[in-house]
Amino acid sequence: MKKFRKKYCYQSETIDGEVFLIDMEAGKYFAMNQTASFIWMLLEMPISADEIIQQLINRYEVDESKCIDSINHLLEKMCRMKMIVAQDDL
């Protein structure tokens, strides 16, 4: 099963439940809303997309099929941006 975790080249600061990231290698910064901030926290340890989806369903009132699509899209985007790493059995 593929698992994901965040890269550690990012400095982060949490303000009012939102995470602000600074990519120290590229000199870029990102602001995350509350849901993305929760996902970023989950990515501290290796975690599968299914585990993230289950956490979100348990925490928020969200349609499962929309959640699956959104999480898969987000994880793909974060991988492309080199914010996270994905490996089989990480």
Taking only the tens place, the pLDDT of each residue in 23-57 is 878 888 889 988 998 999 999 999 999 999 999 99
Q: Residues 28-42, buried b or exposed e (16+ Cβ, 10 A)?
A: eebebeebbbbbbeb
Q: Is residue 23 part of a domain?
A: no
Mean pLDDT of the chain: 89
Q: Is residue 79 part of a domain?
A: yes
Number of independent structural domains in the chain: 1
Backbone angles phi, psi at 77, to 5 degrees: -65, -45
Q: Is residue 56 part of a domain?
A: yes
Q: Is residue 63 part of a domain?
A: yes
Taking only the tens place, the pLDDT of each residue in 68-77 is 999 999 999 9
Q: Is residue 25 part of a domain?
A: no
* Domain region containing 57: 2-8+35-88
Single-letter code of the amino acid located at 67: C
Backbone angles phi, psi at 60, to 5 degrees: -125, 155
Q: Is residue 29 part of a domain?
A: no
pLDDT at 60 (0 to 100) = 92
Q: Is 63 exposed, middle or buried (0-12, 13-18, 19+ CB in 10 A)?
A: exposed
Q: Is residue 39 part of a domain?
A: yes
